[in-house]
């Protein structure tokens, strides 16, 4: 969450930043009103506690001097003040609860260099690789759901029979391809990032730490009996690994990677943009995550993006990088770059990675700090990025590498992980 002091100390700048994220003026004014009200109640509560403490000391002294009548008067006054203190404390707690609830759903402040705009139409394409899309022949213009059926490597119907629509079932070399992509990516990141295998069911507080609760509860799968949630991304458990801890500045940056399934209640009607692997309730993803100081953030952000791009290049896929506008970023992000690959069979650009710098927004929610060189505790900055999410990569690969005879060539970089198989045939 954002630091409420920003609204107190630099209201106009903070208000303008929140409006860039699409926050209504009335909601900002409500935050300021509640903050001022809470501080008034807190000040009065503290004043009452101080008066009660002084009275208690006077009463103790008078009891020793046997001045019973004065003691009774002061005791009655202390009781009256105590009753008022309880009422004011309750009011302060109630206002603080509402204030915190609003702060928990308030988006992060965008970086000043983030493009303006509230929808995807305002996102800025900053580079493409190659600079112009190649000409794709007809045999590469077949959608992956048809290729998957022809080669018997993807069975959406049986996936739906088991779990409902938007749950895929990979078969044979199709399943091996998902596994190969995972191993390939983890090996590529092993030079710098420590591999983690986190739980995929997490507590409510863990989901709140990353910013996925409370605002996005309708988009998540919950195990109500145990008060656990299926993670929508490995970002969730990685964010809270160091919750309520104080790290040492000398240990930063801490860079982590994890491969997990991800579960999301994706909304939207069925159609050409949701068919096959284009939108799923369950998918596999390799995540990158970093705990850093503010000074380290820019370099780590650039490196995460470079790694996502490098994977696309090594896989031989056409891709582009978008600088997301303020209104199209996720709740926790200050700055986000998306990587999209081109799938010739679908004739669509498919998002396969979002690389985000979150500032101290998540660290405030999860209470993660570090002890600086001058022994001052500060909130860490967090970054996260997909490198990469596999369903759309899988789709783009089988479409891009489809040959005239209907078989699919395996990129050279993956063949080692495919037990030497160089081609998927009927």
Instruction: Tell me what the pLDDT averaged over the chain comes to.
Output: 95
150-154 CB contacts, 8 Å cutoff, 24+ apart: 150/406, 150/426, 151/406, 151/407, 151/408, 151/424, 151/425, 151/426, 152/426, 153/177, 153/398, 153/424, 154/276, 154/277
The yes-or-no verdict on residue 269 having pLDDT over 80 is: no
Average pLDDT over residues 73-81: 89
pLDDT digits (tens, 9 = 90+) for 336-371: 999 999 999 999 999 999 999 999 999 999 999 999
User: Band of the pLDDT at 60, cuts 50, 70, 90?
Assistant: confident
Q: Which of 247, 225, 197, 221 is nearest to 366 (CA)?
A: 247
DSSP 256-321: EEEEEEEE----S--STTTTTTTS-SEEEEEEEEEEE-HHHHHHHHHHHHHHHHHHHHHTT--EEE
Cβ-based neighbours of 24, under 8 Å, separated by 6 or more:
none
CATH 3.30.930.10 location in the chain: 120-424
Q: Which fold has domain 5-105?
A: Helix Hairpins (1.10.287)
| 201 contacts 230 by C-beta, under 8 angstroms | yes
Neighbours of 276 (CB within 10 A): 25
Percent of the chain at pLDDT > 70 equals: 98
Distance CA 202, CA 217 (A): 13
The yes-or-no verdict on residue 221 having pLDDT over 70 is: yes
Task: Identify the H or E element spanning 201.
Answer: strand 201-203
The yes-or-no verdict on residue 172 having pLDDT over 80 is: yes
Burial track 234-255 (b if 16+ CB lie within 10 A, e otherwise): bbbbbbbbbbeeebebeebbbb
pLDDT digits (tens, 9 = 90+) for 18-29: 999 999 999 999
Distance CA 23, CA 327 (A): 9
Strands (E), 101-159: 124-129
CATH 1.10.287.40 location in the chain: 5-105
The yes-or-no verdict on residue 83 having pLDDT over 90 is: yes
Q: Which of 128, 108, 130 is nearest to 322 (CA)?
A: 128
Predicted confidence at residue 136, as pLDDT, reads 97
Predicted confidence at residue 67, as pLDDT, reads 60
| CATH 3.30.930.10 at 120-424, yes or no | yes
Predicted confidence at residue 271, as pLDDT, reads 60
Predicted confidence at residue 214, as pLDDT, reads 96
Q: Which residue has the tokens 């891009």?
A: 400
Predicted confidence at residue 68, as pLDDT, reads 63
Predicted confidence at residue 266, as pLDDT, reads 79
Percent of the chain at pLDDT > 90 equals: 91
The yes-or-no verdict on residue 243 having pLDDT over 90 is: yes
Q: Which of 232, 215, 4 is nearest to 104 (CA)?
A: 215
Q: What is the pTM of this model?
A: 0.93
The yes-or-no verdict on residue 204 having pLDDT over 70 is: yes
Average pLDDT over residues 363-392: 96
Burial track 38-49 (b if 16+ CB lie within 10 A, e otherwise): beebbebbeebe
The yes-or-no verdict on residue 69 having pLDDT over 90 is: no
pLDDT digits (tens, 9 = 90+) for 279-333: 999 999 999 999 999 999 999 999 999 999 999 999 999 999 999 999 999 999 9
Cβ-based neighbours of 173, under 8 Å, separated by 6 or more:
151, 153, 418, 421, 424
What is the distance, to the nearest Å, from the Cα of residue 152 to the centroid of all Cα atoms in its chain? Answer: 35
Residue 220 half-sphere exposure toward CB, CA atoms < 13 A = 25
Distance CA 200, CA 234 (A): 8
Q: Indicate the Cα dihedral angle 102, 322, 338, 156, nearest 10°.
A: 110
Distance CA 256, CA 239 (A): 10
Largest CA distance in the chain: 106
What is the distance, to the nearest Å, from the Cα of residue 58 to the centroid of all Cα atoms in its chain? Answer: 55
Distance CA 217, CA 66 (A): 62
The yes-or-no verdict on residue 421 having pLDDT over 90 is: yes
């Amino acid at each position: 969450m954002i630091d409420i002091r920003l609204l107190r100390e630099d209201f106009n700048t903070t208000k303008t930043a929140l409006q860039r994220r699409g926050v209504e003026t009335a909601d900002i004014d409500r935050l300021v009103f509640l903050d001022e009200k809470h501080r008034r109640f807190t000040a009065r509560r503290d004043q009452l506690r101080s008066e009660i403490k002084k009275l208690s000391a006077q009463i103790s002294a008078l009891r020793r001097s046997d001045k019973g009548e004065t003691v009774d008067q002061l005791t009655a006054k202390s009781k009256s003040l105590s009753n008022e203190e309880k009422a004011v404390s309750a009011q302060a707690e109630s206002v603080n609860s509402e204030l915190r609830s609003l702060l928990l759903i308030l988006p992060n402040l965008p970086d000043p260099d983030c493009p303006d705009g509230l929808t995807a139409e305002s996102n800025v394409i900053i580079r493409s690789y190659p600079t112009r899309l190649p000409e794709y022949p007809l045999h590469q213009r077949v959608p992956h759901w048809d290729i998957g059926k022809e080669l018997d490597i993807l069975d959406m119907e049986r996936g739906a029979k088991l779990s409902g629509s938007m749950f895929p079932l990979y078969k044979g070399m199709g399943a091996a391809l998902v596994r190969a992509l995972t191993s390939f990516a983890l090996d590529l990141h092993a030079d710098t990032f420590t591999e983690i295998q986190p739980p995929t069911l997490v507590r409510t507080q863990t989901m709140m730490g990353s910013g996925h609760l409370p605002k996005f509860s309708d988009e998540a799968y919950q195990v109500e009996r145990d008060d656990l949630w299926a993670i929508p991304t490995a970002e969730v458990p990685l964010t809270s690994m160091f919750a309520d801890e104080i790290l040492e500045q000398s240990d930063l940056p801490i860079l982590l990677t994890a491969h997990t399934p991800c579960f999301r209640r994706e909304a939207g009607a069925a159609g050409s943009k949701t068919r096959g692997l284009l939108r799923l309730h369950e998918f596999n993803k390799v995540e990158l995550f970093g705990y850093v100081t503010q000074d380290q953030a820019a370099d780590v952000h650039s490196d995460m993006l470079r790694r996502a791009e490098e994977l696309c290049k090594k896989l031989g896929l056409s891709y582009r990088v978008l600088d997301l506008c303020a209104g199209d970023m996720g709740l926790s992000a200050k700055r986000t770059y998306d990587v999209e690959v081109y799938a010739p069979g679908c004739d669509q650009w498919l998002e396969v990675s979002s690389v985000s710098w979150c500032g101290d927004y998540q660290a405030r929610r999860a209470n993660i700090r570090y002890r600086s060189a001058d022994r001052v505790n500060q909130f860490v900055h967090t970054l996260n990025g997909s490198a990469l999410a596999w369903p759309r990569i899988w789709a783009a690969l089988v479409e891009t590498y489809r040959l005239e005879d209907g078989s699919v060539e395996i990129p050279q970089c993956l063949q080692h992980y495919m037990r030497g198989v160089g081609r998927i045939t009927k």
